[in-house]
Amino acid sequence: MLWANWTGASTVPSRELYPHQWSWDSAFIAIGLRHLSPLRAQLELETLLRAQWGDGRVPHIVFNDAVPLDAYFPSPDFWRSTTAGRAAGAPAAVQTSGIVQPPAHALAAWLVHRADPGLSRARSFLARLRPRLAAWHRYLLCARDAGGAGLAAVVHPWEQGMDNSPCWDAPLSRVEPADPAAYRRADLDHGAPEDRPTDLDYGRYVRLAEAYRDRRYADDEGPGAFAVEDPAFNALLIVSEYALALIERELAADESESADMAADGIESDGLAESADERRGRADALTKTLVDRLWDPRRGLFLCRDLCAPGRDGELVPERGVTGLIPLVLPGLDRDITATLVRTACGPHFGLEGPARLVPSYDLTGPAFDPRRYWRGPAWFNTNWLLEKGLRLHGDHPRADGLRDALLDAAVTSGFAEYVDPYTARGSGARGFGWTAALALDLLL
Ligand code: DGY
């Protein structure tokens, strides 16, 4: 299946619905691919990072110019990366989107390196990726610190990756939808309308993306109409910062570091940091995440809507799976990890019944829908992260139970994009890249 989605330099999430390279998909896919072919896993990340912009952002889509323009919307002519993105340093040789996705890449790079350290050293894999990963994190921590507290903000729901989560309903309600006659959704050619975001959602996605593009993807003029500090996005940034610390340590100990360090076009001044500095930053970011987003009453992390009235915006009172993902953080207080596990097992997420897999949204919430994309279905990447989090904090029995449920659902659903959290009936694409990759990772 992973071979069927391989294009020669990277992996598509799905040949029909997502026929290009997606940023966070590639990170999860590389994590699984490393077990089959460490070389392909390295290439997956290298291909993505070659499309990095000069300001450090890693675009959420890298377009394959062999794919017809109308196969996916929004296509390259919408994003106009090589013209509108020029000031921000978009590459000339490849077309990309101008928004980002969750930064799981340094974590993936570290795991891929560990799968075959000999090959990695022979190809200077870490030495070549390190400046790009450092520039990526710096972009998020500086240019995207819209709230001024140190966390990265997303400026579009597609950036956080859980596109139509009810967590975005309030922040998105202020966005005037684009005229539906001005574009054509290609996703409905391949996906059932009841499984996908609505037309109203799409109108708002399009309006936000157009506005960012028309600002030439500049981040220094303020965040626009949508800016949210999200728990999962920032938790992955913190985990990746710890992984980058391990990469720095490995390279410092490695004489072959003098190998080709070129990262053409990337602003790389002052990017070299010691492993200790990075670890210190990751610890401090964990504290900031707790200060800004932890809700002790609900027992999970919430999203902070920075565009809501108030000096610091306001917390969105919706329980999304994003609020459980910080369980992957090693530096979380014991009380918080215990509370997160209780919340995952309780009525809102049902990990110990009645759900088979952790849903993307509160089972008891008014907006819950077991079929519609990120409004209830269970996804394999978020459940994989929770499995890792449970294991990290020593809860092996629950981690084993979740692993078995994930593997079972992956196989019986034909490696579906997402499944009904109660029945594990599949929806969306089949033969989905990260479902296959992460199932493989759990198996091996
Ligand atoms: C889509 O096309 O549905 C994606 O989630 C946007 O990246």
The 10s digit of each residue's pLDDT in 146-203 is 999 999 999 999 999 999 999 999 999 999 999 999 999 999 999 999 999 999 999 9
Whole-number Cα distances in Å, 352 to 29, 223, 287, 348, 401: 28, 40, 29, 11, 9
pLDDT band (50, 70, 90) for residue 115: very high
- At residue 229's C-alpha, the angle toward residues 224 and 235, to 5°, is 145
Per-residue pLDDT, 224: 86
Average pLDDT, integer, range 227-235: 98
From 158, 187, 212, mutation site for ligand 1 pocket: most ligand atoms within 8 A of C-beta = 158
The rounded Å distance from CA 158 to ligand 1 centre is 6
Count the residues in the chain: 444
Per-residue pLDDT, 267: 54
pLDDT band (50, 70, 90) for residue 256: very low
Ligand 1 neighbour 139 (Cβ under 6 A): no
Residue 24 has pLDDT above 80, yes or no: yes
Ligand 1 neighbour 158 (Cβ under 6 A): yes
Whether a cis peptide bond, with omega within 30° of 0, leads into 74 is yes
Per-residue pLDDT, 261: 43
380, 395, 291: which is closest to 29 by C-alpha?
380
Ligand 1 atom with least separation from CA of 97: 7
Ligand 1 neighbour 163 (Cβ under 6 A): yes
Instruction: Tell me which amino acid residue 176 is.
Output: E
Whole-number Cα distances in Å, 92 to 52, 97, 148: 11, 13, 32
Give the global pTM: 0.96
Ligand 1 atom with least separation from CA of 60: 7
Ligand 1 atom with least separation from CA of 101: 7
Per-residue pLDDT, 222: 74
State whether residue 426 is helix, strand or coil.
strand
Whether 369 is catalytic: no
Does this complex have an ipTM over 0.85?
Answer: yes
**Active site residue: 195, 229, 417, 441, which one?**
417
